[in-house]
Structure 1
């Protein structure tokens, strides 16, 4: 299994204890597993049913098969003390996603940005963040920035990345 993102590993300790954490577009669940091992209750969502099946029965993890890119936002009414997103971008739902964060909750988000085509996929600009985009979206949602990264990253493979850790004020 692919190891968790160093960004997520480093900042996961900032997630509030006792709350539920959303692992959005969780894929094979590397971050859901990490967070569950740390004692968090994790809601792992994805549209890949086979990947979610691999998480069935893992203590601390509940899974939900959802279409995050459909006309209806499947997480309406849900609230989380933490949200983790890696290697996924669906701009149309970024405001909806950030609205799920409870007061005092922490967002940990990391994905590819403009310039990544040099290193491979994703290369479609539609799936690449623009410079400063995560920072601007988080600020517009009223989140307070804790950490931010933008530029070349060598792990897990060479790429152009953008990442943010931000907290919703209490």
Structure 2
């Protein structure tokens, strides 16, 4: 029973999306990239609203739902074998609980002008309370904000979050590409 509860929580869309996306996402279909998608829970929210989603992860075995309408790319984004992300292809890029700094310029380039980034991941403060603790996977203070400094910031938060009763330290950004 406890395992089912945990799976249901993990498969729930991020609050960053459920809280903000309905007010800022166009009703017309968008091209969405769910990068390092894991279970695909965030991309699924967009797929359920008739947006075309490209899911990328080094393992796609944990995806919640599959449809022929969407793309599924089994790419390891960190070992140098994955092709570059296509430039200016996506209206929306989703990145959650993932940081690979060498990929940041490709992520920015993948968003169409006027498109959106939804980015949420752990900050250095997370190492004080648990995993991840490797500094390669943790944002420095204001790093996410400054990475997208010339974009129009629609939402920014950095600090303590409590999700499903679990404490974490994260930065969140929703920004529109100029």
Of residues 18, 21, 35, the one that matches 1:12 is 21
Q: Does 1:144 align with 2:157?
A: no
Q: Tell me the CA shift for residue 60 of structure 1.
A: 4.5
Q: Tell me the CA shift for residue 168 of structure 1.
A: 0.9
- Structure 2: segments with no counterpart, 5+ residues: 1-7
Two-structure CA RMSD over aligned residues (Å): 1.7
- TM normalised by structure 1 equals 0.89
In 2, are the aligned partners of 1:55 and 1:61 still within 8 Å (CA)?
A: no
Q: Does 1:38 align with 2:46?
A: no
Deviation digits for residues 142-170 of structure 1 (CA, Å, limit 9, x no counterpart)? 3211110001111142011001000012x
- TM normalised by structure 2 equals 0.85
* Aligned twin of 2:169: 160
Q: Secondary structure at the match of 1:68?
A: coil
In structure 1, distance between residues paired with 2:72 and 2:25: 19
* Aligned twin of 2:78: 69
Deviation digits for residues 114-155 of structure 1 (CA, Å, limit 9, x no counterpart)? 11023211011111000000111011xx32111100011111
**Quick one: higher RCO (CA 8 Å, sep 6+), 1 or 2?**
1
Q: Tell me the CA shift for residue 33 of structure 1.
A: 1.1
Instruction: Extract structure 1 runs of 4+ deviating beyond 6 A.
Output: none
